[in-house]
Amino acid sequence: MASTTEPKVAEPEQSTPNEQQKPEQKHLALGEDDEFEDFPVDDWPADQTEAAQRNGETKHLWEESWDDDDTSDDFSNQLKEELKKVEAAKRR
Amino acid sequence: MNDLFKGFAKAHAEQNGYLLAATLSPIATSSNPQRLRLIWKSSHSSSVKGDIKHFIKSNTSHHRSLDHEEVKGWVEVYAAYWNAIGDFVAVEDGKSTWTKVYESWKDLTSALIRGYNSFGFEAWTIPCLYVVGKYLRLFAIRSDTERSRNAGDNSGGAALIQDDFDPETEKQSQLRDCEQHLKRIFTLCLNDRAPLEESRKWGIYFIINLLFKTYFKLNSASLSRTILKTLSAYKGDMPALSAFPKSQRVTFKFYEGVLFFLEENYIEAEKYLVEAWELCHKDANANLERILTYLIPCRLLTSHVLPTKALLEPFPRLQKLFLPLAQCIRKGDLRAFDVALQEGEDEFVKRRIYLTLERGRDIALRNLLRKVFIAGGFDELKEGETTPVRRTRVPVAEFRAAICMGSGGELVDTDEVECLLANMIYKDLMKGYIARERGIVVLSKKGAFPGTGV
C-alpha cells in the first residue's frame, strides 16, 4: 500500500509553489499510508458490503493448505525417491 | 466569509451536523478551490470576532434563532478556525510551519470542546468534533515530521548535550500531545448524560477510531485496551455498535481485531476481522487489503487454510506478500519456506505479521509429514475388514528422510526429527505416539492428521 502514494507525499517541500496549488487532500494524506483509510461515505446499504458481493458464499476464497491432487511436482517426486531409498536401506 | 455562514445557517436550520462540520474543514472544495484564502482574506485579526458575530446573526435571523450563549460559543470556534486557516494558508506559501498550524488547530479544538461544556452546543453538531479531531491528528503528524526533519538538519550539538534525550519519543511528541486532546473529546462524548436520542454518545466510535489510529502510530497499540475497558464500563448506557454507520463499525472492528492479533489471540482476532471484512464497502479495496493482511495469517493458524487465487485476485500486493509462502506451505518445502520468510522479512515485520507467519512453518511441516503418510499407502486388508486402512506404523527414518529433503538436503539427526515429531503431536497437528525402541511412529487410525481428511 505504501508504494503508490509515498513518492508523491514524502518530500512535499521539494515541490514548487505551483505544484502546491494542487488539492490539499493529497497533502494531508501523509502519515496515513499505512493505516485504515477513511471511507468516502459514512454509511452504505447492506447490498454494498463485501459480504453481499460474495452472496454469503466464502468457500471459494479459502482452501486447505495441503494439496492431494498435485503430487507430480518435482518436490513430490523427489520425496518419493527419498522414501524409496529408505525402504531399500531397510531391506539390506 | 458570508458563504461560510450561509452554510452555518443552513446546517442549523436543518440540524445537519455533517453540513455544519463541512464549514470547519481545512480543505478547499473542488467547486471553490480558493475557499481557504477567501475566508482568510475576508477578515482581520482585530475585527474577526465582530465580523463572525455579525455574519452569524444576519444569516440565522430568518431561521431558527440561536440563543445568546450558543452564538458566543460559535464566535469563539470560528475565530479560532479563521486563525488556524491563516496559518494553513501561510504554510502553503512557505511562510509558516505545520507546528504553528497544529497549535492553532489545537486552540480550535479547545474552543469547540468549551462550546459543549459551557455554551450549550447541541448533540447533532458532533460531526464538528469528527472533523476537528481528524485534522488535529493529521496536523500533529505533519508537525512531528517537520520537527524531526529540522532536528536532522542541525544535528550535532544540541542533541548530544542532553543525556536523557530520547529521539524516538521526541519524534512523536506532537502526536502524543494530540492524544491528550482526543481523549478530552472521548470523555466529552462518553460522559454526556442527555437522553440517548440527543446524546454526544453517538460520537464515541468515531473518536475511539481516531484514538486507535493514534495509538497504533505511536507503537502503543496496547493502550487501545484502556479505551476499550473504559467503554465496556459504560456499555449499559451506550447505543449498540450496530446502530452506528458502517464506516465507523468496520474501522472499529478492524482495529479491535488487529489488537487481538497482536496479543496473539487469533481466535478472537479472526472473529473481528471477518466481521470487518464482511461489512466493509465492496469497492474499498485499500481497506479490504488491510483487513486481509491480518486475516490471512490469522486463518492460517486457526484453521490452517490459505487464501485462494480468487480471494487475492484484486490485490496484487497481497499476492506478492503471501503467495510464495503459501506455495511452500502447501508443498511442505521447509527450506523454501524459510527463504520466502526471510525475503519478505522487512515487509512482514513492518506489518507486524512476521511472528505469526513464522508459526506457519508448523503447517508446512505438517503437510510434509502428511505426504509421507500418504505415500505409505495402505495395509493389507485383515479378516473382516472391508475398507482399506492406511499404513499407520511409519518408520522414523522415513520422516527423517522427508525432513532432510525438505530442509534442502541438510542432514537432520534422528533426535531432532523425533523432537519435531513430538512437537507436532503436542500441537495436535498429528495424532499418535513415537515408539522409540522400535524406531517407528504409530499414528492414529482415525485421523492421523486431524482435519485433513486422513
B375 touches chain A (CB under 8 A): yes
User: Is B320 found in the same domain as B287?
Assistant: yes
What local confidence, expressed as pLDDT, does residue A54 receive? 79
User: Is B195 found in the same domain as B94?
Assistant: yes
DSSP B15: T
Query: Which residues in chain B are contacts of A66 at CB distance < 8 A?
Result: 330, 332, 366-367, 370, 452
State the DSSP H helix or E strand holding residue B321, giving kind and residue range, or none if neither.
Answer: helix B316-331
Residue of B nearest to A90 (CA): B397
What local confidence, expressed as pLDDT, does residue A16 receive? 39
Q: Which of residues 55-84 of B touch A (CB under 8 A)?
A: none
In the predicted structure, residue A56 carries a pLDDT above the cut 60:
yes
Nearest by Cα to B82 from B6, B5, B192: B5
What local confidence, expressed as pLDDT, does residue A33 receive? 54
Answer yes or no: is B68 within a domain.
yes
Domain region containing B384 = 378-443
User: Is B187 found in the same domain as B142?
Assistant: yes
Answer yes or no: is B250 within a domain.
yes
As for how many domains chain B has, the answer is 3
pTM: 0.87
What is the secondary structure of B324-355 as a DSSP string? HHHHHHHHT-HHHHHHHHHHTHHHHHHTT-HH
Residues B53-91: tens digit of each pLDDT? 999 988 887 766 688 899 999 999 999 999 999 999 999
Query: Which residues in chain B are contacts of A4 at CB distance < 8 A?
Result: none
User: Is B316 found in the same domain as B288?
Assistant: yes
User: Is B65 found in the same domain as B196?
Assistant: yes
B31 touches chain A (CB under 8 A): no
Answer yes or no: is B454 within a domain.
no
* pLDDT classification of A5: cutoffs 50, 70, 90: very low
Answer yes or no: is B370 within a domain.
no
A88 touches chain B (CB under 8 A): no
d(CA B63, CA B75): 18
d(CA B14, CA B127): 14
Q: Which of residues 14-73 of A touch B (CB under 8 A)?
A: 17, 20-21, 23-25, 28, 30-32, 34-39, 41-44, 48-53, 60-68, 71, 73
Residues B244-271: tens digit of each pLDDT? 999 999 999 999 999 999 999 999 999 9
User: Is B82 found in the same domain as B101?
Assistant: yes
Answer yes or no: is B365 within a domain.
no
3-state secondary structure of B68: helix
Answer yes or no: is B85 within a domain.
yes
User: Is B348 found in the same domain as B394?
Assistant: no
Evaluate whether B207 touches B182 at the Cβ level (below 8 Å). Answer: yes
